[in-house]
Chain A
Amino acid sequence: MNYMPGTASLIEDIDKKHLVLLRDGRTLIGILRSIDQFANLVLHQTVERIHVGKKFGDIPRGIFVVRGENVVLLGEVDLDKEYDQILQRVSIEEILEEQRTEQQAKQESERLKLQAVKERGLSIPKADTLDDF
């Protein structure tokens, strides 16, 4: 029941399949093979999973070395539950297409918003010009 401090608690997660969410929004699923004190991760047989709506698609990626600071969260994947999901797996092309459409729609709405805001004489600073934290 006792837990280790810091990254040492990840040691018991080694050699297990994990889902890692990165700061840039990507979702990686891979077997956690190695860690270090910064929680840099080595993921093996990694798959990048793109979710759009209820569909998802996987892109196999191989080995990933993820710098610890870019991880938002990670968690072990329950292998039993992994395959009975509501989500529907589709092919890569499809999911990328879906993602692109979603992206476009978002951009469009953003553009309209920005325009509306500009018309009113306001300005919203873009997120990348602000500090993250």
Chain B
Amino acid sequence: MGCTFLEKTGESVPDASWPENGDQWSDKGEEEDDECELLQEMAEEDEEIDLYNEETFGLDEATSGDNPAADPMDLLLLCSDNSPTPQSSPPPPPISPSPHSSHSPSRPGSRVWPHTPTGRPQRGRAGRGQLFDDPAVVKTVEGRPSLKSLDSAIVDCSLSSYWEDLNSNTWMMAPQKSSRPPVASILQDQAIVGVIDRSRHGRVPPVSPNFLSPMRPFSTSRGRRGPPFVGSFNQRCHYQNPMVPCSPFRPQRLFSPQQQYNQPGGFLSPSRPPLSTPMPHTPKLMHLQFGTDSPRPAPFYSPSTNIMQGFRAPGPVAQFHPQHKRLLSQRQQRPHRKPVSWDPYSQIMTDKEKEWIIRLQMIQLQSKNPHLDDYYYQEYYQRIEAKLAEEEILGDRLKKEPPKLTTPYVTKALSYIPVVHIEGSLGQVAVSTCFSPRRAIDAVHANTSDEEHRDTRRQRLEVLSTIEKLYIVLLEVEEANKMKATVSDKDEERRLMQNIKRKVDQLYNELRCTNLLDSGEEFISCLLISKGKSMLARLLPFLSPDASLHILSVVTKNLPVLMSKDTDEALPVLYPSLRAVIDRLAFSQLIRNLKEFTATLPDSKDTRLTLACQNKFGLSLLYALLSQGERLLSSDLPMEPSIGDFETWTDTVFHVARQLSQTTLVEPLLLPSNLLTLFCRYLDKRTVHQLKNNMESATGYLAVAS
């Protein structure tokens, strides 16, 4: 609450005290105080704060009518105002406590915010004496009934019974114990009066009942009404009955999420009556609600409604996950729970408040794409589920579901178009929303012509930028692929597949066109860049068989270039994807690829083969191809070889074998196990043995002939 210190000059301030007729306050004084502008501003600020408080804590209509912004502050403003309103300068009742009186000796004209006593003196630091300054301690310690010991926690006579019960097992049952009227009366007689006197002199905080401590001026709205505190307290003590602890100060309903039910499409809409304030039990106690003549009938809003409303548009319409809906409805259906009989305080936090909190937390978790927004949790959960599923299969038949975080279920929102184009108009109509504040102009990117850039480096950079832009598309493809597995709707699936296909084609075509000017070969320029290699590796699984074959042949054909320019040693990243492609090759396709290896290169004497032996990737590729051939041959599947395939095959094998046995080999990425079998079939033992040694020396482990 804004201002803590207000300097008032020249005002005659009556002895400050809580007026007994607090509900008759008016804040006319405020309005007429136009001498000090600062005060005016502060007052306005107060009004706003009060309004907020009103919304939060709720005042009854009776009072809100006259005092829209009544506030404990008003006491200060009021007492300083010029206008003579007899009501506003209340005569100090003899026994009404006053927080301001703690400073009454110190002023005229200056008003200091009442000093809130700190509840906790230093403990254990000073001597024994200070130990017992802690009023709570003091009270508990027998035989020290000093008034100083009267802590707010203790004075409450109704709870005095519970101190005694502390050592017993009936901790929870304490309030139910019979009250001690004699104790009460004692307190009432001596303590309270004494304390009040003391507090007037500012030594001890005013007495207040335990529950809400309304004496603290800014703790509750109740306090501002300046109730006849002790009077009521006295009365309360009189009305001591076992059930009293539960009701009179039944706490205010701070948040009533009633308004939220109006939100479109979203929340459950129970039509609860706005008033579900727990009423005090007995009519006698009704007037004990501080400062109000009647219980609060007004429905109150929660400050959260403003927050909630902000979420309405434009954004996804929040719906609750069906599971959560069930949860909440279950909660609702649990019929208005009778307060658990043994615990009279059990309904302090109402269901509405609980739901409010749940909603608040849920809103923060709304997301159209949880796999994107909450990637780590989703991945984690999927892995746990997968592991459990495995375990289930293996034998652990217990179907234990891992605990899952309940999240809101958000339906897809229609995308909105931030820029509206009216037919026939020149230009675009600017539609600003909170997501796109200004989209009046669509800047057109000027395309520079290609001829200007002959610089290779610049070309590379261009290619790199293309690749990077395409990465987003690739990520979308992978994302859609993942979603495809989880989505159940057939249309959705089809749409996703179309989406994927379209993007994959786009990627393929764009990458294909990235060729350096001097080479006519497709894909090369992107293959020369490491990012491009990894991108192609990720794209390969999505491509059609023809397309992937094409890439394989491109790679094979340009192997020397790739190998020589592979400074980062990024080629191996292509290996797994290419291996997958190779494994699906038919025999004739395989032969065609293999032929490339043995053919001599146009500009040198070497074959790709010789060069490949020196390169990890090249060698691995070769091995993969041979392995596939062997697999095809040794399997019983019918092959459809073209004419001359077998001859080429045998030739190639001989050629390769000869080469491999002669040159020192590097360690391949993967050494297929059926290679030696292959060689055994075609070659003599000696050669095979030589080959074996050669290969082994490269890898460092034995190539087992299966």
Contact A47 B123 (CB under 8 A): no
A96–B167 CA distance with the chains assembled, in angstroms: 18
Interface segment out of the listed B38-46, B187-195, B340-348, B540-548? B340-348
Q: B124-159: contact bitstring with A at CB < 8 Å (1 yes, 0 no)?
A: 110010010010110011000000000111101001
29 sampled A-B residue pairs with Cβ under 8 A: A1-B401, A1-B402, A1-B404, A4-B361, A5-B361, A5-B365, A5-B407, A7-B361, A8-B360, A8-B361, A15-B346, A34-B251, A37-B361, A44-B345, A44-B348, A58-B166, A60-B136, A60-B154, A60-B162, A60-B166, A61-B136, A62-B152, A63-B211, A63-B213, A79-B172, A93-B141, A96-B124, A96-B131, A100-B124
Q: Which residue of B lies closest to A93 (CB)?
A: B141
Contact A2 B357 (CB under 8 A): no
Contact A3 B403 (CB under 8 A): yes
CB-defined contacts of B163 to chain A, threshold 8 Å: 60
CB-defined contacts of A59 to chain B, threshold 8 Å: 134, 136-137, 140
A92–B143 CA distance with the chains assembled, in angstroms: 13
A14 is an interface residue with CB less than 8 A from chain B: yes
A89–B168 CA distance with the chains assembled, in angstroms: 12
Q: A3-B405, A47-B166, A61-B153 are in contact. Are A36 and B210 (CB under 8 A)?
A: no
Q: How many Cβ-Cβ contacts under 8 Å join chain A to chain B?
A: 120
A121–B365 CA distance with the chains assembled, in angstroms: 54
Query: Contact partner of A35 among B213, B349, B404, CB < 8 A?
Result: B349
A91–B163 CA distance with the chains assembled, in angstroms: 13
Contact A5 B362 (CB under 8 A): yes
A6 is an interface residue with CB less than 8 A from chain B: yes
B174 is an interface residue with CB less than 8 A from chain A: yes
A35–B525 CA distance with the chains assembled, in angstroms: 61
CB-defined contacts of A96 to chain B, threshold 8 Å: 123-124, 131, 137
Interface residues of B in 398-416 (CB under 8 A from A): 401-407
Q: How large is the interface on B (under 10, 10 to 19, 20 to 34, 35 or more residues)?
A: 35 or more
Contact A34 B153 (CB under 8 A): no
A45–B245 CA distance with the chains assembled, in angstroms: 12
Nearest CB of chain A from residue B373's CB, rounded to whole Å: 13
Query: Contact partner of B403 among A2, A5, A7, A91, CB < 8 A?
Result: A2
**The 8 nearest A-B residue pairs measured at CB:** A62-B153, A6-B361, A100-B124, A34-B349, A8-B358, A8-B361, A33-B348, A5-B361
B696 is an interface residue with CB less than 8 A from chain A: no
A127–B343 CA distance with the chains assembled, in angstroms: 44
A33–B347 CA distance with the chains assembled, in angstroms: 8
A7–B359 CA distance with the chains assembled, in angstroms: 11
Q: Which residue of A lies closest to B152 (CB)?
A: A62
Q: A58-B166, A96-B124 are in contact. Are A37 and B323 (CB under 8 A)?
A: no
Contact A60 B140 (CB under 8 A): yes
Contact A17 B171 (CB under 8 A): yes
Nearest CB of chain B from residue A74's CB, rounded to whole Å: 16
Nearest CB of chain A from residue B284's CB, rounded to whole Å: 24
CB-defined contacts of A79 to chain B, threshold 8 Å: 171-172
Q: B365-382: contact bitstring with A at CB < 8 Å (1 yes, 0 no)?
A: 100000000000000000
B364 is an interface residue with CB less than 8 A from chain A: yes
CB-defined contacts of B401 to chain A, threshold 8 Å: 1
Contact B162 A6 (CB under 8 A): no
Contact B210 A62 (CB under 8 A): yes
The total of chain A residues at the interface (CB under 8 A) is 40
CB-defined contacts of B174 to chain A, threshold 8 Å: 45
A31 is an interface residue with CB less than 8 A from chain B: yes
Q: B479-512: contact bitstring with A at CB < 8 Å (1 yes, 0 no)?
A: 0000000000000000000000000000000000
B169 is an interface residue with CB less than 8 A from chain A: yes
Contact B353 A34 (CB under 8 A): yes
Residues of B within 8 A of A (CB): 123-125, 128, 131, 134, 136-137, 140-141, 151-154, 156, 159, 162-163, 166-167, 169, 171-172, 174, 210-211, 213, 251, 255, 323, 340, 343, 345-346, 348-349, 353-354, 357-358, 360-362, 364-365, 401-407
Contact A11 B358 (CB under 8 A): yes
A96–B130 CA distance with the chains assembled, in angstroms: 11
A123 is an interface residue with CB less than 8 A from chain B: no
CB-defined contacts of A61 to chain B, threshold 8 Å: 136, 153
Q: A1-44: contact bitstring with B at CB < 8 Å (1 yes, 0 no)?
A: 11111111001001101000000000000010111110000101
Q: Which of B343, B402, B406 has the most CB of A within 10 A?
A: B406
A3–B171 CA distance with the chains assembled, in angstroms: 29
Contact B159 A62 (CB under 8 A): yes
CB-defined contacts of A44 to chain B, threshold 8 Å: 345, 348
Query: Contact partner of A100 among B131, B140, B323, B405, CB < 8 A?
Result: B131
Q: A4-B361, A103-B124 are in contact. Are A15 and B345 (CB under 8 A)?
A: yes
A83 is an interface residue with CB less than 8 A from chain B: yes
Q: A11-B357, A11-B358, A34-B348 are in contact. Are A5 and B211 (CB under 8 A)?
A: no
Q: A6-B361, A11-B358, A92-B137 are in contact. Are A33 and B124 (CB under 8 A)?
A: no
Contact B358 A92 (CB under 8 A): no
Nearest CB of chain B from residue A101's CB, rounded to whole Å: 9
Query: Contact partner of B354 among A11, A45, A91, A97, CB < 8 A?
Result: A11
Q: Which residue of A lies closest to B353 (CB)?
A: A34
Contact A17 B172 (CB under 8 A): yes
A89–B255 CA distance with the chains assembled, in angstroms: 40
Contact B406 A14 (CB under 8 A): no
Nearest CB of chain A from residue B256's CB, rounded to whole Å: 14
Nearest CB of chain B from residue A105's CB, rounded to whole Å: 12
Q: A63-B210, A92-B141, A100-B124 are in contact. Are A2 and B323 (CB under 8 A)?
A: yes
Nearest CB of chain B from residue A4's CB, rounded to whole Å: 5
CB-defined contacts of B345 to chain A, threshold 8 Å: 15, 31, 33, 44
A3–B358 CA distance with the chains assembled, in angstroms: 11
CB-defined contacts of B349 to chain A, threshold 8 Å: 14, 33-35
A83–B171 CA distance with the chains assembled, in angstroms: 11
CB-defined contacts of B167 to chain A, threshold 8 Å: 89
A44–B354 CA distance with the chains assembled, in angstroms: 18
CB-defined contacts of B128 to chain A, threshold 8 Å: 97
Nearest CB of chain B from residue A5's CB, rounded to whole Å: 5
A62–B209 CA distance with the chains assembled, in angstroms: 10
Contact A4 B406 (CB under 8 A): yes
Contact B169 A5 (CB under 8 A): no
CB-defined contacts of A11 to chain B, threshold 8 Å: 354, 357-358
CB-defined contacts of B153 to chain A, threshold 8 Å: 60-63
CB-defined contacts of A58 to chain B, threshold 8 Å: 166
CB-defined contacts of B171 to chain A, threshold 8 Å: 17, 45, 79
Q: Which residue of B lies closest to A103 (CB)?
A: B124
Nearest CB of chain A from residue B123's CB, rounded to whole Å: 7
Contact B406 A37 (CB under 8 A): no
A103–B125 CA distance with the chains assembled, in angstroms: 8
A59–B140 CA distance with the chains assembled, in angstroms: 7
Contact B403 A1 (CB under 8 A): yes
Q: A45-62: contact bitstring with B at CB < 8 Å (1 yes, 0 no)?
A: 101100000000011111
Q: A17-B171, A17-B172 are in contact. Are A6 and B364 (CB under 8 A)?
A: yes
Nearest CB of chain A from residue B119's CB, rounded to whole Å: 9
A59–B121 CA distance with the chains assembled, in angstroms: 14
Nearest CB of chain A from residue B277's CB, rounded to whole Å: 15
Beyond A2-B405, A17-B171, A92-B137, 17 additional pairs, beta carbon < 8 A? A1-B403, A3-B404, A5-B365, A8-B361, A14-B349, A31-B345, A34-B348, A35-B349, A47-B166, A60-B136, A62-B153, A62-B159, A62-B210, A63-B153, A79-B172, A99-B123, A99-B124
Q: Which residue of A lies closest to B162 (CB)?
A: A45
